[in-house]
Amino acid sequence: ALEALVDQAVVALERARLVEAAARDRARGEAEALRTALLTSLGHDLRTPLTVIRGAAETLRVSNLPEATRADLLLSIEEEATRLARWMSAILDIVRLETGQLTPRREPLALREALENAAARAEKIHPGRPVVLEVADGLPRPRLDPSLLDRVLENLVDNALKYAEGRVRLGARREGAQVALTVEDDGPGIPPADLPRVFDAFFRVHRPDSVAAGSGLGLSICKGLVGAMGGRIAAESPIAEGRGTRITLRFPA
């Protein structure tokens, strides 16, 4: 009987070693994939705005242009520089999250206020686009980092406004021991085959009309930030009549 037990233990140990090795391989594979994606993005997303900036600066220097054309060129320099700055802080966020160098604050947070701020900001940037709030009464105050949550909501609302046309809904409700925050739109949605990958860094849904420029980093940063605060993020699509996207954040209440 003892021998049989020892045999079983040996088998169990061997199995544990295999599982561990597989997990290590997977982690290495993911790190490798991220590095490749980062380098590809460095080559592409960095070069395009730099080319525009250099071209515009050179034109301004060598030609005698009418005032209006000069203003246009200066504007495109400013826009491309802003895009570069945004892209670089996204890359920095990814690296900080990957290396565990981001320690969120944890303070009781008023969810209604956080959603109201997100809606107010959206209305300032996209006036005329309705943002509807559906916040349950008497919600608990989960311990979260207010500025990180703001960034997540900002990203999600921006996506909803970018990819959809109608109204955007922001919701908060209790779900047992958790609180759920939702951002919903009635846009074209995300193809089912792409749904599992939308939180991967640099992943973008291929759209023939290529709605809007993006880096494919927004949702992966959201996932990292939510995870760092002890929560989870999920995407559902379609949500009604073949359309719409709902992103749900869940945190311990």
Structure tokens at 167: 């109204």
Nearer to ligand ADP, 217 or 226 (CB): 217
Closer residue to ligand ADP, CB minimum distance, 86 or 141: 86
Whole-angstrom Cα distance, residue 78 to residue 121? 22
Q: Which residue is nearest to ligand ADP (CB)?
A: 214
* Contact of 229 with 148, CB cutoff 8 Å: yes
Q: Which of 63, 80, 70, 122 is nearest to 213 (CA)?
A: 80
Shortest spacing between CB 181 and ligand ADP, in angstroms:
15
At closest approach, how far in Å is the CB of 154 from ligand ADP? 11
Closer residue to ligand ADP in complex, CB, 73/168: 168
Per-residue CA distances from 220 to 66, 76, 216 (Å): 44, 28, 8
Residue 108, strand partner residues = 143
Q: How far is the CB of 208 from ligand ADP (least distance, A)?
A: 12
At residue 156, φ and ψ (nearest 5 deg) are -70, -40
* Smallest separation, CB 249 to ligand ADP (Å): 14
Task: Give the single-character DSSP code of 216.
Answer: S
Report the residue number, 55 or 214, with the smaller CB distance to ligand ADP.
214
Please give the residue ranges that form the binding site for ligand ADP (CB under 6 A): 159-160, 163-164, 185, 187, 189-190, 198, 203-205, 214-220, 245
